[in-house]
Amino acid sequence: MNTPLKIAIAGLGTVGSGTLQLLQANADLIAARCGRPVRVTAVADQVKNKDRGVSFDGISWYDDAEAMVANADADVVVELIGGAHGVAKRIVEAALARKRHVVTANKAMLAHHGLALAQVAESGGVTLAYEAAVAGGIPIIKAMREGLVANRISRVSGILNGTCNYILSTMRATGRDFGDVLREAQELGYAEADPAFDIDGVDAAHKLAILAAVAFGTRVDFGAVSVEGIRNVTATDIQYADEFGYRIKLLGIAECADGTMSLRVSPCLITPDMPLAAVDGVFNAIVAEGDFVGRSVYEGRGAGARPTASAVVADIADIAMGRRVPTFGVPVAALRQLAVRPLDARVGASYVRLAVVDRPGVFADIATAFRDESVSMESVLQRGRNANANVNVVIVTHESEDAALIRALQRLQNNAAVIEPPHMMRIETLQ
């Protein structure tokens, strides 16, 4: 039998335990496919007394992940602790410096420190792998970096956060409002007790920053991502969007053209015939557009112990087989730094909802503001007033520059009859 590949796992939470379960359950299969056994020699976690459904025979236990990295007999350190800047980053740096390969699911760390860590890995001649960091079980990093290697990628877009997608899908299916569905998602374990990272779009933005680096061969730049979450999406918006023939999805969209790039995470309106429109619940999906391959779509479970473990072990198998690829597709020195196009330079259609007092002249004010900024309306919908004599005016614009629409909405915000900040969402026509 060939030399086993020795693995040390830092962090035995959901994903860490799932990875250990997978490596034990499918050990024979993995050994056959890797041409050698994959053996866990050490694990580190602060909580020892807990049933994880796995055997710890022959595995050294460390309470301290840093001590494990310093002392364990391992070829690969698997970092599943999480967090952008703390112990996770320290052990990844230490492992790479000791010329150990690193496999991680840590999107926050990569979004913030991916470039520096890739440099350390490259200098040491070891692998820094992170399939599990983006879209859980979907092998999207491999697809982009190897499967589509021949293509100039112009756009990557996707549903990158299962929590948000579950909330938006459930709001649409039930007509219930955001806060109500969020509470239910928390009870079901689909949303964290502190849901901010997910619902404010930060988690999706981490993943988009990583995807963009791989797709465009650029330095990971989390600061380049414009981020808007789903807190302000109401049941009313979902209902109006439906009436106009759209679904609302939290999308991450990365575009590259003319030597500039645009990275944004925000709730968007898309038509039901788009591949992403049918992706409901906790599923993730990514659409990549390349100059030769055209459009390709990847869908699967974006989170959870077992799908994420599947991605972690795929990275381990690449290491076991000696398959190498630069961290972000090309050597660090060849990664580009592209100018970031401002978000409001986009040209496209938008959805706008204005809550206004229903009195004469308000509609004329709205129409005037749009006309003065040369934003033309494709559709307008106004319903009977509610108990407070307020109405929603909902507008779908023709293609226009976002900057012009934003100026029109700023004018209206100063109008006393407009009683809430205007709700604006982009309509995206990704093919």
**Catalytic residue annotation:** 207
* Interior angle at CA 250, CA 373 and CA 190, nearest 5: 155
Residue keyed to tokens 């072990």: 313
109 CB-near residues (< 8 Å, 6+ apart): 83, 84, 85, 88, 89, 92, 117
Q: What are the backbone dihedrals phi and psi of residue 359, each rounded to the nearest 5 degrees, phi first? A: -140, 160
Q: Is 390 in the site for a second copy (CB under 8 A)?
A: no
Binding mask 26-45 for a second copy (x = CB under 8 A): x--xx-xxxx----------
CA 412 and chain centroid, separation:
33
Q: Is 242 in the site for a second copy (CB under 8 A)?
A: no
Q: How far is the CB of 138 from a second copy (least distance, A)?
A: 6
Choose one: 114-122, 146-154, 223-231, 235-243; the region binding a second copy (CB under 8 A).
146-154
Q: Give long-range contacts, CB 8 A cutoff, 24+ apart: 180-184.
A: none
Which among 398, 338, 374, 362 is positioned nearest to 153, based on CA atoms? 338
71 CB-near residues (< 8 Å, 6+ apart): 62
In this structure, are residues 237 and 423 in contact, taking their beta carbons and an 8 Å threshold?
yes
Q: Is 218 in the site for a second copy (CB under 8 A)?
A: no
Q: Is 293 in the site for a second copy (CB under 8 A)?
A: yes
Choose one: 69-77, 251-259, 309-317, 340-348; the region binding a second copy (CB under 8 A).
309-317
The residue among 85 and 295 lying less far from a second copy, judged by its C-beta, is: 295
Q: Is 294 in the site for a second copy (CB under 8 A)?
A: yes
Of 11, 162, 195, 217, which lies in the binding site for a second copy, with binding defined by CB under 8 A? 217
In this structure, are residues 249 and 172 in contact, taking their beta carbons and an 8 Å threshold?
no
Q: What are the backbone dihedrals phi and psi of residue 414, each rounded to the nearest 5 degrees, phi first? A: -85, -5
Q: Is 173 in the site for a second copy (CB under 8 A)?
A: no
Q: Is 119 in the site for a second copy (CB under 8 A)?
A: no
Of 11, 82, 158, 300, which lies in the binding site for a second copy, with binding defined by CB under 8 A? 300
Q: How far is the CB of 293 from a second copy (least distance, A)?
A: 4
Interactions with a second copy, residue window 331-350 (CB under 8 A): 331, 334
The residue among 37 and 195 lying less far from a second copy, judged by its C-beta, is: 37
Torsion region of 89: left, alpha or beta (phi above 0 gives left; psi -120 to 50 gives alpha) = alpha
- Which residues in this chain contact a second copy in the complex, by CB under 8 A? 18, 22, 25-26, 29-30, 32-35, 131, 137-139, 142-143, 146-152, 217, 273, 275, 278, 285, 290-301, 306-307, 309-311, 313-314, 317-318, 321-326, 329-331, 334
